[in-house]
Structure 1
């Protein structure tokens, strides 16, 4: 099955889908694809005006219903509040899609004292999955989908005394690309570990959307990076598109071939073997435990 086959699958009228990063790039396109097939789609983003506009537009032109939930995923309290809001608003959750992401231009910490890129790209999905897993299980068969990246192969997840080595990193040592790669490696390792901990009625898979220079991912990146992305997005044949990345997300969330397959990293040619750092059981366990410590939950879940 190719990415484009996702457009010909069954309707989603009975499905409720939570999609973070749903107001721009891949997420915005995916939200439209889900709504066109009749789903109830909860999109999450930071820009209230844009989010409400997109929700209204999609609800008016598609068979589905789209609601916007304004949340800053950098803040632990905001992630937990989002989970509470989702449980109060929706009585089922068939797909939990973690698509939000950023690449910070300089080393910066959240109010919780966590490096920003790791907080948004990895710890927010970890905590949101923890808080919503019961609702996902109640809706089973259900799926969890994570937007990862091929750049995860460049990342590392080194530990020292039970902590991430990068937690003691100085401003001078900070490298935005290395940090982004690290967060994407964490995405893949988290997905593989989660899949092993879940039963077969809830699957967890991640994917590489391709290099999409036009995405809003690099809004916090250094000026030279943002300039390069603008140039590349204008050059035909360079990189992929939000539409192609969205097709992959929708496919993992809905295609019959992924109904029972779990723990996969999917690229343009289908399931691929991810970097060794994502498949090593000991490193995955360390990631899981330290992530639980950082967000304040018991690591013995699910």
Structure 2
């Protein structure tokens, strides 16, 4: 049956590999790519070669007004019948800055805006257009564990604070340093899991939400805002680690992501998928109080851009699995 999957972060690395795999494995899927500027048109043309149904919507994910506009364009296309029923949203885009001082156009810290609020706004604006069975997949990270086993000492663990603090610049010690930027990243990925747990409580039956962790994937564009030495190491040296159990190559990680999106990997709503299987996320990531507080804050932060969205009608008392 023909259906639509909306995807962010498909231009390179894990996302590009996942998009290619989705199109190969699910020929009935119309893939709608969300990308900045003209890059979306080029990407859609490349992925659509051979007759695959691919289109794009332009948006800067750091701008909530841009995200809201992109989501509304997708809603309009669905309502007009230009797109088949919506059965998937993949929030794979993510950023990591060299400090915790980057501010987006809406006044939010840029890491939090892209990695957390943009995903939430897409889910809220598209929620009443999903046709069950549907699946929402948000990409998280090993870094949310905060220990050497998962981070190999490269990224500080998350430092949770109230969402009102996390959403603003300077939330962490030494915010002008790379450590501050990496802490913002790992904390945002913990927030992604909190949101998935809350979606599992609130979304109607048949619309699942899953957090996907690709593991350590060197060679992607995540370090593009780092200094030249770090960028060189990520592009040229660390990809060799993909030959070891400590890392995953972008192609394999992309295939794992596609398997989660397509339901090939068994993952009930609220699940955390570690590469190719459902697993337990960190102990810290199961905290209903934080999850509820983040939900309420994200609602406030995105209210201006989600004014037309209807309230979730699902049960809000469930427990994420």
Question: TM-score normalised to the size of structure 2?
Answer: 0.81
Specify which of 51, 54, 76 is matched with residue 88 of structure 1: 76
Q: Give the equivalent residue in structure 2 for 1:70.
A: 58
Specify which of 92, 99, 102 is matched with residue 92 of structure 2: 99
SS of match in other structure, 1:60: coil
Q: Quick one: structure 1 residues 108 and 88, their matched pair in 2 at CA, closer, same or farther if it must change by over 3 Å? A: same
Shift of 1:156: 2.9
Aligned pair 1:240/2:248, yes or no? yes
Q: Give the equivalent residue in structure 2 for 1:182.
A: 187
d(CA) in 1 for partners of 2:160 and 2:249? 29
Specify which of 19, 41, 44 is matched with residue 52 of structure 1: 41
Specify which of 111, 114, 125 is matched with residue 117 of structure 1: 111
SS of match in other structure, 1:141: strand
Aligned pair 1:149/2:141, yes or no? yes
Q: Quick one: structure 1 residues 46 and 55, their matched pair in 2 at CA, closer, same or farther if it must change by over 3 Å? A: same
d(CA) in 1 for partners of 2:290 and 2:227? 30
Aligned pair 1:133/2:122, yes or no? no
Is the contact between residue 165 and residue 171 of structure 2 (CA under 8 Å) also seen in structure 1?
Answer: no
Aligned pair 1:219/2:250, yes or no? no
Q: Quick one: structure 1 residues 171 and 147, their matched pair in 2 at CA, closer, same or farther if it must change by over 3 Å? A: closer
SS of match in other structure, 1:81: helix
Q: Render the CA deviation track for 1:85-129: whole Å, top value 9, x for unaligned.
A: 111223421101100111012321011100001100111001110
Is the contact between residue 31 and residue 43 of structure 1 (CA under 8 Å) also seen in structure 2?
Answer: no
Which structure 2 segments of 5+ residues have no match? 146-156, 313-321
d(CA) in 2 for partners of 1:235 and 1:203? 35
d(CA) in 2 for partners of 1:184 and 1:171? 15
Shift of 1:168: 6.2
Q: Render the CA deviation track for 1:10-52: whole Å, top value 9, x for unaligned.
A: xxx512110101111111111112222311101111251x332
Q: Give the equivalent residue in structure 2 for 1:272.
A: 279
d(CA) in 2 for partners of 1:292 and 1:18? 21
Q: Give the equivalent residue in structure 1 for 2:259.
A: 251
SS of match in other structure, 2:168: helix
Is the contact between residue 214 and residue 229 of structure 1 (CA under 8 Å) also seen in structure 2?
Answer: yes
Q: Give the equivalent residue in structure 2 for 1:42.
A: 32
Which deviates more from structure 2 when the two are superposed, residues 22-31 or residues 269-278?
Answer: 269-278
Q: How many residues align?
A: 283
Which deviates more from structure 2 when the two are superposed, residues 269-278 or residues 292-301?
Answer: 292-301
RMSD over aligned CA atoms reads 2.3
Is the contact between residue 218 and residue 235 of structure 2 (CA under 8 Å) also seen in structure 1?
Answer: yes
Question: TM-score normalised to the size of structure 1?
Answer: 0.86
Q: Render the CA deviation track for 1:250-301: whole Å, top value 9, x for unaligned.
A: 1111125547x11001113622211233211001111111111222258994
Shift of 1:132: 0.5
Q: Quick one: structure 1 residues 269 and 170, their matched pair in 2 at CA, closer, same or farther if it must change by over 3 Å? A: closer
Q: Quick one: structure 1 residues 233 and 257, their matched pair in 2 at CA, closer, same or farther if it must change by over 3 Å? A: closer
d(CA) in 2 for partners of 1:269 and 1:99? 16
Shift of 1:176: 1.2
d(CA) in 1 for partners of 2:16 and 2:206? 28
